[in-house]
A and B are shown apart, each in its own frame.
Chain A
Amino acid sequence: MSATTSNETAAPDLSAIARPPQVLNNRGPLWVTDAVCSIVEGKTPLWWYAAISVSGAFAAIGGACILYMIVTGVGVWGSNSPCFWAWDITNFIFWVSMAHAGSLISALLFLTRQKWSISISRAAEAMTVFAIVCAGVYPAIHIGRVWFVWFLFPVPNSYGMWPNFSSPLLWDVFAVTSYLTVSSLFWFAGMIPDLAVLRDRATTKIRKFAYGLVSLGWLGTARQWRHYEMMYVLLAGLTSVLVVTVTSIVASDCATSVVPGWHATIFPFYFMVGAVYSGSATILTLLIPLRAIYPQLKELITPSHLDKVCKLLLMMGSCVAYVYVFELFNAWYSANPFERGAFWERFTSSYSWYAITCLSINLTIPQLFWFKAVRRCLPLVVVLAILCNVGMWFERFMIVTTTLTRDFLPSSWGNFHATIVDILTATGTVGIFFTLFLLFIRFVPIINMSELKAALPGSQPHGDSAHSTGEGH
């Protein structure tokens, strides 16, 4: 009854300054639970089988190519002198960069209490983990003698020698592995309460057992919540630090070399912004179709959420554009013939079309997101987001391979031609990514229910229960 009074007085100005709701139509917690769990609990749709068999096939072919490469020699790829690295490292950087957006969005935005990210964070983290898996494929197999890869790990041995700690490549190994560990922990930790919910709702024995196992006996007691919250904050902190360090280390592969076009201090920032850029693009590419397939998600992943991701994309895209311009300026300003030559060749050599495609996409597409109309037209957003990732792949190729084809001595200049093995290995990683993501959709709550419910109006005991309706009362 007091509600009504406060309603009359506060309503107009409140609605004016009110944050857009996390969940539309004032849905309550129970509805949220049903909505999310139904995706997992419902009957497996046909499209899912179709999709996973396709992606699985690609993954399998990719695996076969990798096996062939290992038993035959790195020569089955198009790599050569001067392009000792080509698609392998291009794809590695492409995937590992994409990975960063996920953790960044969930961890950083969680720490900064940006509630809008809740409904997309789970999918974003999943995307992160799967992308790292894809990225991890390459450093593991691209070397000449995989069976000696343990030389990279500082373990005591009968040689009485250690790896070279000044090599960025060594730190790559450490960085990527620790990033994989932490981000998957972060992802999994976030899921525990939701898995417990699935466990409790489970109808069959097997599901009960399985979800029971992975929810680690979650009871949702106040004590557990206290520890849980603490751990989650710590992991979030750790993750967001790793996001930065890992990109910087990967960037130092290029930055610490002497190759003109690589040897630049801007690279860590370059890779960071590129990472979040391609990451947010991927999130859009994944979530919007998902909303279309599962209509109930439309109320959980609201247009305003996607709008914010679009804005993030816009911002990072602009940063990327800035870096492009800055790079060119730098090359010119350095007055160093090799630097200048590298960039001149980048746009004039037989590889110019890579650079031109890359720039024409990454300089223009993100800028479209200045327009609300574009941001709100979701089908268009998907198309543009995919384009952004294409642009990013070309950027990675431009940085890694095109740069290598034209270095110091023109006598050693050469060209790179991808072989079928290169291509199938790359598509293989795409296959791996989507296979994992499909499994994710099917068996895990794709939205962080617990957090979301906590963020619902009225869920806070001392929050204004005035606006909460339905189960709220």
Chain B
Amino acid sequence: MSNFFPRWANWLPLQLLVCVLVVGAPITLGVWYYFTPKYTRVGYQPDQPVPFSHALHVKQLGMDCRYCHSFVEVAGHSNLPATQTCINCHGEGKILSNSPRLAPVRESWKTGQPIPWVQIHRLPDYAYFNHAVHVNRGVSCYSCHGAVNEMSVVYEAESLSMKWCLDCHRSPENFLRPPSEIFNMDWHPSSAAEQRELGTRFKEEWKVNPPVNCGGCHR
């Protein structure tokens, strides 16, 4: 009656259990974190054909978002500015009219070919996001795009995952702002309490009732 297993094997089950906990758990957590949009998207910062600095234009020069993204209040898409818009200031004999960094802009203006900006904030095509309805109803650019006015090169600040969207759709009061401060990237509620107080008031007054069912975004 020979036994195939040595004595120490009696401890095997326990050892296995420990092993699973020690090795398995980190793997699970790692996948959980590193494979989700929170990690895969946030911080995406491609280099753009033109080194346009929001920090300079917005923070220092104090330009309004809507000078370039002119349709954000009326259209689902927040349009990128036409080359024309850049040329308004950087045209012949104007600001930096022959800076090499603006060469692509002048090129585009000459040839009529658009500037191929690299898309950063990208939702899957089955998610229909509408800018107009958000900015008109108290959701600031800041809530989704982060402090763009601080970015010299724009990167993705939020995960834009469905869960992230729902966080706000389920409790908008945590994000709603005074209409006057929508495009003010520097406005921040003094305290979470103030935010909730404001938000709740707006939610009541404006009857903000964001959709939390599929139809709101998926058609």
Contact status A159-B1, CB under 8 Å: no
Encode B1-18 as 1/0 by CB contact (under 8 A) with A. 111110001000000000
Encode B41-62 as 1/0 by CB contact (under 8 A) with A. 0000000000000000000000
CB distance from A109 to the nearest CB of B (A): 31
How would you classify the secondary structure of chain A's contact residues: helix, strand, loop or mixed? loop
Contact status A217-B166, CB under 8 Å: no
Q: Which B residue sits closest to A156, measured CB to CB?
A: B32
CB distance from B129 to the nearest CB of A (A): 16
Contact status A159-B161, CB under 8 Å: yes
CB distance from A206 to the nearest CB of B (A): 12
Residues of A with C-beta under 8 A to B5: 212, 216-217
Contact status B38-A212, CB under 8 Å: no
CB distance from A15 to the nearest CB of B (A): 38
Q: How large is the interface on A (under 10, 10 to 19, 20 to 34, 35 or more residues)?
A: 10 to 19
Tell whether A208 is near chain B: CB-to-CB under 8 Å.
yes
Q: Which B residue sits closest to A158, measured CB to CB?
A: B161
Encode A126-159 as 1/0 by CB contact (under 8 A) with B. 0000000000000000000000000000001111
| Partner of A213 from B2, B4, B32, B38 at Cβ < 8 Å | B4
Tell whether A234 is near chain B: CB-to-CB under 8 Å.
no
CB distance from A450 to the nearest CB of B (A): 15
Tell whether A463 is near chain B: CB-to-CB under 8 Å.
no
User: Could you tell me which residues of chain B, from 172 to 196, have a CB within 8 Å of some CB in chain A?
Assistant: none
Contact A217/B9 with A158-B36, A208-B4 known, Cβ cut-off 8 Å: yes
Tell whether A160 is near chain B: CB-to-CB under 8 Å.
yes
CA distance A219 to B1 in the complex (A): 8
Encode A191-213 as 1/0 by CB contact (under 8 A) with B. 00000000110000000110011
Contact status A200-B166, CB under 8 Å: no
Contact status A212-B162, CB under 8 Å: no
Q: Which B residue sits closest to A212, measured CB to CB?
A: B4
CA distance A217 to B159 in the complex (A): 52
Q: Which A residue sits closest to B6, measured CB to CB?
A: A217
Tell whether B24 is near chain A: CB-to-CB under 8 Å.
no
Residues of B with C-beta under 8 A to A216: 5
Tell whether B76 is near chain A: CB-to-CB under 8 Å.
no
Contact status A160-B166, CB under 8 Å: yes
CB distance from A218 to the nearest CB of B (A): 9
Known: A159-B163, A160-B163, A217-B3. 20 other contacts (CB 8 A): A157-B163, A158-B36, A158-B37, A158-B38, A158-B162, A159-B161, A159-B162, A160-B161, A160-B166, A161-B162, A161-B166, A199-B4, A200-B1, A208-B4, A209-B4, A212-B3, A212-B4, A217-B4, A217-B5, A219-B1
Closest 9 CB pairs of A and B: A212-B4, A160-B163, A217-B5, A158-B161, A159-B162, A160-B166, A158-B36, A158-B163, A158-B37
Name 16 interchain pairs, CB-CB below 8 A, sorted by A.
A158-B36, A158-B37, A158-B38, A158-B164, A160-B162, A161-B162, A161-B166, A199-B4, A208-B4, A209-B4, A212-B5, A213-B4, A215-B4, A217-B4, A217-B5, A219-B1
